Chain A
Amino acid sequence: DVVMTQSPLSLPVTLGQPASISCRSSQSLVHSDGNTYLRWFQQRPGQSPRRLIYKVSNRDSGVPDRFSGSGSGADFTLKISSVEAEDVGVYYCMQGTHWPYTFGQGTKLEIK
């Protein structure tokens, strides 16, 4: 199975400051169809996961533009340009290229 490794696992951030989460996969996530199925999810306390980013860098509808995704191959990053209080929660990267699809361990973002 593809192992997804996130860092850091805990991310204390001051309101208005940027934040960055790294996600590395144990093998390339480039699919035979040429796409890279790397997604980012946000899970607020007590809620279901919500997809923020798909295919590395595409923001879902309704996701604020302070969220951005980048990367290629096996190395990816989620950035928040200016953290707001509503961004508190756990962030997961997830690969949808190789079955079984797998998630990272999660990064808990909290406000300092």
Chain B
Amino acid sequence: VQLVESGGGLVQPGGSLRLSCAASGFTFSNHWMNWVRQAPGKGPEWVATIKQDGSEKKYVDSVEGRFTIARDNAKNSLYLQMSSLRDDDTAVYYCAAGRAFSWGQGIVVTVSS
């Protein structure tokens, strides 16, 4: 199983960023997929989750209305569109498969002016 995140970086408050996660080594379309973040020196926080066919999506309250999770089963890819970014969105963002049986290496998102 391999999960590789990309798309992170430095962005100003109020800006947008799109994260991607390329999955391999398992049947992507069979599993819920997730984004989990970890702010510096803090524990993980489950941000968003999406059902196998994309028909159901859930978000933690702090990102509801600002972040959108999506997937493309034909490309074995997971996405997180982040907008109206705030300082407290600064974190390492992880892609996690299924019931978190596998995690990517993480991608850093820094929101700062």
Interface residues, chain A, CB within 8 Å of chain B? 37, 39, 41, 48-51, 54, 60, 90, 92, 94, 96, 99-106
Would A39 and B99 be within 8 Å (CB), given that A49-B44, A92-B44, A105-B43 are in contact?
yes
> Which of B7-15, B83-91, B102-110 faces chain A?
B102-110
Residues of A within 8 A of B102 (CB): 51
Task: Give the docked Cα–Cα distance between A82 and B49 (Å).
Answer: 36
Residue of B nearest to A6 (CB): B43
* Contact (A60, B99) CB under 8 Å given A48-B106, A49-B94, A103-B44: no
Tell me the complex Cα distance, A101–B105, Å. Answer: 21
Size bin of chain B's contact surface = 10 to 19
* Chain B residues, CB < 8 A from A60: 101
Taking a contact as CB atoms under 8 Å apart, the answer to whether B105 and A39 are in contact is no
Say whether A48 contacts B94, CB under 8 Å.
yes
Contact in complex: B103, A49 (CB < 8 Å): yes
Known: A101-B46, A106-B43. A48 touches B103 (CB 8 A): yes
Alpha-carbon gap, A41 to B100, bound state (A) = 9
The answer to the question of B58 belonging to the interface, with a C-beta cut-off of 8 Å to chain A, is yes
